[in-house]
Structure 1
Amino acid sequence: MPRFGSWLLAVCFFVSGGAFAGTTCPNFFIAGSAPTLDASLLSRTTEVCHTEYVLFASGVTKGPLYSAEHLTAAQIAGANSISRSGSWHQETGIPTADRSQSSDYTNSGYDRGHMTPAGDASTLTSEGETFSMANVVPQLHKLNAGEWEKIENYVRNIATQQGEVYVVTGPAFDPTTIPTIGKDNVAVPAYTWKAVYEPGVGAAAFLCTNADNYTCAVVSVDDVKTMSGVDPFPALSATMKSNPIGLTLP
């Protein structure tokens, strides 16, 4: 992993071995296999299956550990035909004690950063589901409205061109210090990542520092696993996970 030495040396803390969290909505995953997570991440977790995406929420971080989609060209065509009109709401699919709420972010200095974007939703109902507070993490505005938004658009373009992609998005936390916001103590990630698998081609991920002077890079699936404790695509071969395809930073 020489391309990101300083990033990875600081966050190689989730490598103690993975565990399957299981899934009740396998249609969002490659070969029906949900991401594997380090066992240390599985405390107080809940899977919530929505119409066009699934989220895996943590009552410890008060946000998603990942959010996943099987994104198709037809879905993007539908998304292009509707307007953005969702409103933030608590996630009723998880225990009350494990939820965050919109007010946690008010005057915090952080955006409510979508993991599965509203712009991927093909119907107004699905779009509304992406405004679940369990589908967002605290993300600095410069990143959220900058390179991150460009990455989201880039992935939609890949789905349109290729017909389909599998996407898993999530946070990674700095083990030395994890700041929180709001009365619910929502954990602020040091990084956000978006892993993409193009069937018949391969996989890679975008990884961004959650900072005003942010840096983004294209990394391997193995790099995401090392940094976040989440293997987004356990069904892929070791070779695919260690060799990123040529995604381009937009």
Structure 2
Amino acid sequence: MSDAFCLAVICRTWRGHRSDIAHRHLPHSPWQASSAMSFFLRGCVALAVLCTTSVAAATTRCPTLYANGTPPSVSSTTRTTEICHTEYVLLASGVTKDPAYSAEHLTDQQVAGAEAIGRVGSFHDETGIPAADRSKSSDYTNTGYDRGHMTPAGDASTESSEKETFSMANVVPQDHKLNTGEWAHIEEQVRQLAKQHGELYVVTGPAFDSGTAPTIGTDKVVVPAYVWKAIYEPGVGAGAYLCVNDSSINCDVVSIDDLVVMTNVDPFPSLSASVKSHAIALVLP
């Protein structure tokens, strides 16, 4: 499968102090906000997405961690490796040296266990993927970026499973202010949602700038322009958080359909069209 890139356009619009994300593919004109929605166009950011039809992994070794046992659909499986951990699963990309996604089945019992333990673990290489496709902790040293967990350490119910979240295959270069601020609050909001509803399926991942996306370290880890977290509440619906990966702290709630167009990753391919078309009322911190 080709590693060629095509462009999608994401236009950031603002209402009050919050931005809303909309989109269209090039070469069509950027989306124009409806006057009834009282939005105005703020600007557009071109993202790189792998220019192929989305495909899901043919098989998975850890179906219980995915909604309806179905892995997310991704635009390319070139140089990807699925890694199943105790409480989460990730698809590592050797192209970006980041996870394409990291997925978990988060339950209220798991959150209760997580609240009972302290933060343990240190970042380590992911030996389950080829050496040439890995990032190292040293790639992040003195770069100004945090080693930003995709599946959070704070979701792990035991010390051993928490240590597994410190795999370098489960992190991306994340802006420090975002990681320790709005993103941390979003992670906590998701845990509270799991406590209220009993279970959630959560998929988290990065989205990248086109062409000139920066890299860090000797392994050339690609810095994402956005990070996102998709949530499915069985019997309720689904939606996603999308955050700009910088210190501006711009985060929004979008539908799964919108997220798919923006990222070329479908976190929940088994869900119905009606569930994907409307975002549930996720709370922004």
Task: Establish whether TM, by shorter chain, passes 0.5.
Answer: yes
Q: Which residue of 2 aligns with 1:53?
A: 88
Match of 2:172 among 115, 137, 152: 137
Question: How far apart, in 2, do the equivalents of 1:50 and 1:172 lie?
Answer: 23
Question: How far apart, in 2, do the equivalents of 1:156 and 1:170 lie?
Answer: 17
Question: How far apart, in 2, do the equivalents of 1:98 and 1:75 lie?
Answer: 31
Q: Which residue of 1 aligns with 2:221?
A: 186
Match of 1:73 among 108, 133, 153: 108
Match of 1:64 among 84, 99, 123: 99
Residues 183-216 of structure 1, C-alpha deviations (whole Å, 9 max, x = no match): 0000000000000001110000000000111300
Moved more, 106-115 or 237-246: 237-246
1:198 paired to 2:233:
yes
Match of 2:75 among 38, 42, 60: 38
Asked whether the equivalents of residues 165 and 197 of structure 1 are also in contact (C-alpha less than 8 Å), the reply is: yes
Residues 99-126 of structure 1, C-alpha deviations (whole Å, 9 max, x = no match): 1010000001100000000000000000
Q: Which residue of 2 aligns with 1:172?
A: 207
Moved more, 70-79 or 172-181: 172-181
Question: How far apart, in 1, do the equivalents of 2:276 and 2:73 lie?
Answer: 13
Q: Which residue of 1 aligns with 2:146?
A: 111
1:120 paired to 2:137:
no
TM-score norm. by structure 1 comes to 0.95
Question: How far apart, in 2, do the equivalents of 1:164 and 1:202 lie?
Answer: 12
Q: Which residue of 2 aligns with 1:29?
A: 66
Q: Which residue of 2 aligns with 1:19?
A: 55
Structure 1 residue identity aligned to 2:61:
T
Q: Which residue of 1 aligns with 2:283?
A: 248
Asked whether the equivalents of residues 75 and 121 of structure 1 are also in contact (C-alpha less than 8 Å), the reply is: yes
Query: Relative to 1, partners in 2 of residues 1:15 and 1:160: Cα closer, same or farther, differing over 3 Å?
Result: farther
Identity %: 62
Q: Which residue of 2 aligns with 1:95?
A: 130
More helix by share: 1
The secondary structure found in structure 1 opposite 2:257 is helix
Question: How far apart, in 2, do the equivalents of 1:232 and 1:174 lie?
Answer: 20
Unmatched tracts of structure 2, length 5 or more: 1-9, 14-19, 23-41
1:85 paired to 2:101:
no
Query: Relative to 1, partners in 2 of residues 1:232 and 1:77: Cα closer, same or farther, differing over 3 Å?
Result: same
TM-score norm. by structure 2 comes to 0.84
1:155 paired to 2:190:
yes
Moved more, 129-138 or 240-249: 240-249
Q: Which residue of 2 aligns with 1:232?
A: 267
Unmatched tracts of structure 1, length 5 or more: none
The secondary structure found in structure 1 opposite 2:206 is strand
Question: How far apart, in 1, do the equivalents of 2:51 and 2:43 lie?
Answer: 15
Question: How far apart, in 2, do the equivalents of 1:51 and 1:177 lie?
Answer: 36
By how many angstroms is 1:10 displaced?
A: 2.5
More strand by share: 2
Question: How far apart, in 2, do the equivalents of 1:181 and 1:228 lie?
Answer: 21
RMSD: 1.6
Moved more, 45-54 or 12-21: 12-21
Q: How many residues align?
A: 248
Residues 59-103 of structure 1, C-alpha deviations (whole Å, 9 max, x = no match): 011110000000000000100111101100000110111110100
Structure 1 or 2, whichever has the larger Rg, is: 2
Asked whether the equivalents of residues 8 and 227 of structure 1 are also in contact (C-alpha less than 8 Å), the reply is: no
